[in-house]
Amino acid sequence: MEEKPKGHRIQIELPEDAAQGIYSNLVIVSHSPSEFVLDFTRVLPGLKKAKVYSRIILSPKHAKFLLKTLSDNIEKFEGKFGKIKIDETTKKEIGF
């Protein structure tokens, strides 16, 4: 009988400065054959410029894993709190 490899746990460290998080209401996604780039920004009323607060660079495989993970978590959220409603007004409000 072949033994299954035991999963190992990764200890994740959350530094104090990262624990506060960064609010973003707009993400710009670009890609090349080897990577996806997610630029998280914040659009504020009355301002004509938006600053990128965080840039995340992912391999295509990791981008797909992120998509699946977000999808799974949205499904769990909606199961607990109800559907997240998105209509044409909401799309314009958040800039997507």
What gap in Å lies between CA 27 and CA 47, rounded to an integer?
17
- Give the pLDDT of the chain (96 residues) as one tens digit per residue: 556 566 789 999 999 999 999 999 999 999 999 999 999 999 988 889 999 999 999 999 999 999 999 999 999 999 999 999 888 776 555 555
pTM of the prediction?
0.77
**Residue spans per domain, the chain:** 21-94
- Residue 77 zone, left/alpha/beta (φ > 0; ψ -120 to 50; rest): alpha
